[in-house]
């Protein structure tokens, strides 16, 4: 039996979540402790909330006053409602919540039936039941109950490097599937914006939205996750990041944005996409060619069908890149013009070492002259970071105008020069971030 425990400050929110299951005839109240229960299996949220408030102290130092627990037996264990109720009461007693007010609800929204328990963790004198070592205490208790009642041993599903990421199955445990998808995508792929994050999630029928606002005068900034069908339509109630795990939080995702900025190298993806584009004659041809190279192209359209977003997902380098990061010829506007008019196919700017007519011979070697018709400003792309500030990314070749060919990977590739190139990139990024205080 797997127990999942979360602590929070909103008893009403936990009650509302369970009431929603009951209203959809996918759940029922099994029993309560110190909370009114009319025996119908339904829940009166206002009445239950008032009962919980009666047990709340006038003041407490605890910020998180409640716990929301789910007990999940092995799928092969088929338990009656009386058995679920008995397990819940024994579990709460052993966890130290025997004298606390709590409510037990059975969920039947997936094939693997399970129970949820909403409980206070703050006593009337203002002290709180400790959550220290909750995971280990809970695991010992669930193993004890499995042995006592002859239940199968159930474990959390472990994420392994070779585990495939699959689309959300509407008939399965949606919350678990979304959590696994978000965790595996975060572990394996690099992305720098919410749009890029959503592009990779969308391949597996998951969507993420930012939530900003105020509650009781306090600002909050969070994320909410949705399960969708293949067309992007939401098919289930959303899940707050806090219900999935810390890895899904806004802080965690923003941190991934920042770390990815120092690790992503767009050049391999850009070379591959450019090669496919040069050989393609249409939208379908281009997308199919990318698929053969293990790259997905995610397009976002306005209501009138115009492309306003294009993201390349390179499963070879595990990077997610908006088209503008690769160059203006791969941007949404350029692709929209091409797909609607074949003669508007973007002109791929050759890498400096490929332009034989644009070289000057210096000191016994070849040296690239700047391109006079391409202003530096046109080679800049502007994007917003996770805090909403604008920053500029420069095309790799524009970093050293007049020295581009020296640092290009090609037939004359030199490891020492490439190391110097990377060092210059590192210094540029460090200068952009500013000194550490």
> What integer pLDDT is reported at residue 112 of this predicted model?
73
**How far, CA to CA in Å, does 169 sit from each of 44, 87, 404?**
32, 29, 49
> What integer pLDDT is reported at residue 207 of this predicted model?
96
Q: Over range 242-256, report the average pLDDT.
A: 91
Q: Report the candidate in 330, 327, 340, 332 with the shortest Cα–Cα distance to residue 310.
A: 332
User: Cα–Cα distance between 17 and 258 in angstroms, integer?
Assistant: 34
DSSP classification of residue 122:
B
User: Cα–Cα distance between 414 and 13 in angstroms, integer?
Assistant: 60
Examine the pLDDT at 27 and tell me if it is beyond 90: no
> What integer pLDDT is reported at residue 403 of this predicted model?
34
Q: Is 287 exposed, middle or buried (0-12, 13-18, 19+ CB in 10 A)?
A: middle
**Mean pLDDT, rounded, of the chain:** 81
Confidence band of 33 (pLDDT split at 50, 70, 90)? very high
More confident residue, 102 or 76: 102
Q: Over range 156-161, report the average pLDDT.
A: 68
Confidence band of 429 (pLDDT split at 50, 70, 90)? low
User: Cα–Cα distance between 52 and 102 in angstroms, integer?
Assistant: 8
* Tokens standing for residue 436: 């550490």
Question: H helices then E strands: how many in the chain?
Answer: 13, 15
CA 231 remoteness from chain centre: 19
More confident residue, 401 or 416: 416
Confidence band of 376 (pLDDT split at 50, 70, 90)? very low
Examine the pLDDT at 99 and tell me if it is beyond 50: yes
Each residue of 330-339: pLDDT tens digit? 999 999 999 9
Fold adopted by 2-149: BirA Bifunctional Protein; domain 2 (3.30.930)
Examine the pLDDT at 133 and tell me if it is beyond 90: no
Is residue 224 within a helix (H) or strand (E), and if so which, with residue range? strand 218-227
Alpha-helical runs (H) found in 295-348: 323-326, 332-340
Q: Over range 267-287, report the average pLDDT.
A: 95
> What integer pLDDT is reported at residue 425 of this predicted model?
62
Each residue of 164-181: pLDDT tens digit? 899 999 888 888 899 999
Give residue limits of the domains in the chain.
2-149, 174-262, 264-348, 354-437
Examine the pLDDT at 409 and tell me if it is beyond 50: no
Q: Is the whole-model pTM more than 0.85?
A: no
Which residues, other chains included, contact 334 with Cβ-Cβ below 8 Å and sequence gap of 6+?
A: 323, 328, 346
Alpha-carbon dihedral sign for residues 377, 380, 381, 383: negative
> What integer pLDDT is reported at residue 273 of this predicted model?
96
Q: Over range 77-86, report the average pLDDT.
A: 92
DSSP 84-144: HHHHHHHHHHHTT-TTS-EEEEEE-SSSS-EEEEEEE-B-TTS-B---TTHHHHHHHHHHH
DSSP classification of residue 68:
E
Three-point CA angle 62, 66, 67, nearest 5°: 125
Q: What is the CA radius of gyration of the chain?
A: 28
Is residue 5 within a helix (H) or strand (E), and if so which, with residue range? strand 2-8
Q: Indicate the pairing of strand 319-322 with strand 307-314.
A: antiparallel
* Structural contact between residues 299 and 287, judged by C-beta atoms closer than 8 angstroms: no
Which residues, other chains included, contact 231 with Cβ-Cβ below 8 Å and sequence gap of 6+?
A: none
> What integer pLDDT is reported at residue 113 of this predicted model?
84
* Structural contact between residues 115 and 84, judged by C-beta atoms closer than 8 angstroms: yes
């Amino acid at each position: 039996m797997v127990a999942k425990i979360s602590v929070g400050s909103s008893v009403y929110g936990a009650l509302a979540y369970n009431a929603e299951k009951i209203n959809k005839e996918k759940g029922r109240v099994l029993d309560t402790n110190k909370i009114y229960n009319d025996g119908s299996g339904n829940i009166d949220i206002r009445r239950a909330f008032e009962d919980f408030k009666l047990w709340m102290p006038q003041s407490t130092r605890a910020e998180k006053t409640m716990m929301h627990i789910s007990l999940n037996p092995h799928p092969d264990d088929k338990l009656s409602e009386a058995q679920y109720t008995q397990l819940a009461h024994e579990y709460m007693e052993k966890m130290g919540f025997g004298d606390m007010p709590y409510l037990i609800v059975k969920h039947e929204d997936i094939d693997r039936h399970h129970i949820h328990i909403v409980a206070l963790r703050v006593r009337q004198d203002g002290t709180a039941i400790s959550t220290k070592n909750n995971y280990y205490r809970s695991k010992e208790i669930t193993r004890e109950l499995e042995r006592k009642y002859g239940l199968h041993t159930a474990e959390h599903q472990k994420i392994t490097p070779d585990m495939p990421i699959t689309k959300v199955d509407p008939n399965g445990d949606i919350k678990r599937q979304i959590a696994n998808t978000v965790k595996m995508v975060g572990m394996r792929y690099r992305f720098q914006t919410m749009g890029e994050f959503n592009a990779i999630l969308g391949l597996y029928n998951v969507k993420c939205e930012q939530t900003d606002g105020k509650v009781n005068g306090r600002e909050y900034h969070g994320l909410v996750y949705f399960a969708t069908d293949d067309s992007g339509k939401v098919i289930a109630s959303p899940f707050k990041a806090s219900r999935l795990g810390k890895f899904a939080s806004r802080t965690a995702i923003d941190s991934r944005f920042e770390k990815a900025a120092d690790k992503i190298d767009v050049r391999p993806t850009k070379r591959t996409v450019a090669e496919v584009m040069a050989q393609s004659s249409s939208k379908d041809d281009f997308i199919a060619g990318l698929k053969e190279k293990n790259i997905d192209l995610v397009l976002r359209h306005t209501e009138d069908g115009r492309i306003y977003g294009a993201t390349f997902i390179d499963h070879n380098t595990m990077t997610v890149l908006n088209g503008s990061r690769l160059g203006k010829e791969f941007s949404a506007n350029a692709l929209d013009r091409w797909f609607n008019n074949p003669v508007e196919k973007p002109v791929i700017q050759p890498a400096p070492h490929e332009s034989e007519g644009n070289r000057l011979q210096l000191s016994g070697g070849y040296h690239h002259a700047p391109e006079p018709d391409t202003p530096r400003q046109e080679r800049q792309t502007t994007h917003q970071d996770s805090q909403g500030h604008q920053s500029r990314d420069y095309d790799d070749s524009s970093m050293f105008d007049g020295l581009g060919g020296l640092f290009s990977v090609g037939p004359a590739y030199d490891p020492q020069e490439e190391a110097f190139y990377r060092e210059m990139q590192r210094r540029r990024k460090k200068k952009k971030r500013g000194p550490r205080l």
